[in-house]
Amino acid sequence: MALTHRVLPFSAGTLASVAVSAALGYLIYRLLRLGRRPAYLPPGPQTQAIWGNLKQCDPSFPQHQYADWALTHGPVYTVMQGDTPQIIVNRATEARDIFVKQGAYTQNRPPFRSIMLLRDGYFPSLMNGSKWQNARKMWQVVLSSSAIKNYIPYQELESEQLLLDTLNEPLLWYDHLERFANSVGMVMVNGYRITSSSDPIVKETVEDLYDLSRVGFSGNMLDFWPFLERVVWTLPIYKLGRRMAKKHKDYIWKNYFGVKQRAEQGTRLPSFNRTIQERLQEGWTEVSELEGAEIGQHLLSGSTDTVVSTLTTCIAALCLFPDVQRKAQEEIDRVVGLDRLPRGEDEINLPYIQQLLLEAQRWCPAMPLCVARVTSGPVSWGKYNFPENTGLTINTYAIHNDPELYPEPHIFMPERWEGRIKAAHGENQLLFTFGAGRRFCPGKSLAEKSLFIAIARWLWAFNTSHATDEEGNKIPIDPKDLRPGNIVRIKRFSADVQPRSPQRAGVIRRVWREKCDTLLDENHQWKTNPERIAESMKMECDI
């Protein structure tokens, strides 16, 4: 008997129903696969559908969970940030291997969609290709080793006001630190000193940095689930991002055009933004005026937030570890004496102060997670070959708390750097506060010089200890209670800051009086150009 096949008729409605079911099934399949770790990457903690590992971490301080996972999964493993894989590097040896030895292919940045929304699509240190290269060339000119020596008069003057302000208002020491760091950057970038911690520009700068650090670098759904970029206007981050972008642009234009206004009024202190304006008038085309202003703003922010964070760490450590303060002051007194303040050139003769600053970077790193990178070529680790555009992050916190490198890592111990000061950032790099490889922070040397001058002079001038309550009990300081963000900082705390002697207080007042008489005008702005500053700001690079 012949077998026949009967074809059942399908209605249009049936076909549509099948199509919808198939599409829905595929969508469910894709959704359930969101958050799964690719098999070709190093294994890591178990993931959850859609979320990956996001719900297993404190979104403000993921570095702690990352360090814990390294104990189980090894120094290099993969986490899923939503549907975006990120390789976390938790040990110095592997960080040097991946980011330094293979640095040619690990220097690019990921898209950072959320930050680009907050900055209208341009953020110099997160760009790739020519946009990044142009910005870095401009920074390198004004941040070269020879140029940095010329900024010491700025740093010394601002530190002298820091001492005077703290002498007069010791309870406001935290605000005075912010003014100090902000003013060093402001005078370099815009040719304008910040003469008071109550100047609104201090608050504006701190808020601008904190907004970006808190909202942008903490990541959000745009970076975790990239497909959402197609409907970004429907998301809460969109309105917030547009509002913050406008606020930021108003802020940088205020600083940038303030340089022009002061030049028109006859105040022509050399500055980074003034040089950019002159070069643009001469025909530079690779950098727009807005990009130039943003590049200058990066120089300002880079000399502010990390410096304040590290100085705050130093103050906390002096309170919590009084023996460190005693040893540091003994060294300063032996080298400097009672009749003058420490100077920039004293650094080579003050190794314990250098060690103290390295330990501050280790003990409470300003940037506990380095800004992420992506691979741009063949990168390998062990048996794994990372494909192009694989996300990579250094867990600075984990490296700086590695007990094999740093026994008793919770103890603030400058002695651990004795005899290996250069190893901190040398070929066998041990500290990663300023990054690693070809994206190493170009402002590192400037920041370190500001840190040295400020803390050496602080230790020369003041005794710093726990503040006490009305009953004489010490007010606790918790170095783990941090302000969240890409750059963290110990939250504001009370400290008792007292001059070490009337003689030292007299030196501070005398030095400031002399500087006011010789260098500053009636508004406490520079009335003469510090020697060789104009040379440092020439920026005759071919971009």
- State the average pLDDT over residues 439-454: 94
pLDDT of res. 524: 95
pLDDT of res. 279: 87
Whether the per-residue pLDDT at 429 is higher than 90: the answer is: yes
* Burial of residue 128 (number of CB atoms within 10 Å: 0-12, 13-18, 19+): middle
pLDDT of res. 1: 43
Maximum C-alpha span of the chain: 120
Higher-pLDDT residue of 427 and 541 is 427
Assigned fold of 61-536? Cytochrome p450 (1.10.630)
Whether the per-residue pLDDT at 15 is higher than 90: the answer is: no
Domain definitions of the chain by residue range: 61-536
pLDDT of res. 7: 43
Whether the per-residue pLDDT at 427 is higher than 90: the answer is: no
pLDDT category, 539, cuts 50, 70, 90? Answer: low
Tens of pLDDT along 365-391? 999 999 999 999 999 999 999 999 999
Tens of pLDDT along 153-172? 999 999 999 999 999 999 99
Q: Read off the tokens for 431.
A: 């500290």
Count of residues making up the chain = 543
Whether the per-residue pLDDT at 458 is higher than 50: the answer is: yes
- State the average pLDDT over residues 117-137: 92
pLDDT of res. 265: 81
Whether the per-residue pLDDT at 87 is higher than 70: the answer is: yes
Whether the per-residue pLDDT at 152 is higher than 70: the answer is: yes
Rounded to the nearest integer, the mean pLDDT of the chain is 90
Whether the per-residue pLDDT at 540 is higher than 60: the answer is: no
Listed range (109-123, 171-185, 205-219) with the worst mean pLDDT: 205-219
pLDDT category, 240, cuts 50, 70, 90? Answer: confident
pLDDT category, 219, cuts 50, 70, 90? Answer: low
Q: Is the dihedral of CA 125, 128, 132, 136 positive or negative?
A: positive
* Contacts of residue 508, Cβ cutoff 8 Å, sequence gap at least 6: 160, 163, 164, 167, 341, 461, 499
pLDDT of res. 333: 98
Tens of pLDDT along 282-329? 888 788 999 999 999 998 888 789 999 999 999 999 999 999 999 999
Whether the per-residue pLDDT at 4 is higher than 60: the answer is: no
pLDDT of res. 31: 52
pLDDT of res. 5: 45
Annotated binding site for heme: 441
pLDDT of res. 485: 86
Write out the H or E segment, with its range, that includes residue 87: strand 84-89
Listed range (12-16, 79-83, 365-369, 475-479) with the worst mean pLDDT: 12-16
DSSP letter assigned to residue 415: G
Whether the per-residue pLDDT at 428 is higher than 90: the answer is: no
pLDDT of res. 3: 41
pLDDT of res. 411: 98
- State the average pLDDT over residues 449-463: 98
Tens of pLDDT along 32-73? 556 688 889 999 999 999 999 999 999 899 999 999 999 999
Annotated binding site: 441
Listed range (24-38, 47-61, 112-126, 194-208) with the worst mean pLDDT: 24-38
To 5 degrees, how large is the angle CA 49–CA 53–CA 55?
90
pLDDT of res. 269: 82
Higher-pLDDT residue of 120 and 22 is 120
Whether the per-residue pLDDT at 187 is higher than 60: the answer is: yes
Higher-pLDDT residue of 385 and 28 is 385
* Contacts of residue 496, Cβ cutoff 8 Å, sequence gap at least 6: 170, 464, 465, 466, 467, 468
Q: 366, 306 in Cβ contact below 8 A?
A: yes
Q: Which of 249, 252, 159, 17 is closest to 454 using CA atoms?
A: 159
CA R_g for the chain: 27
* Contacts of residue 40, Cβ cutoff 8 Å, sequence gap at least 6: 384, 385, 387
Tens of pLDDT along 501-528? 999 999 999 999 999 999 999 999 998 8
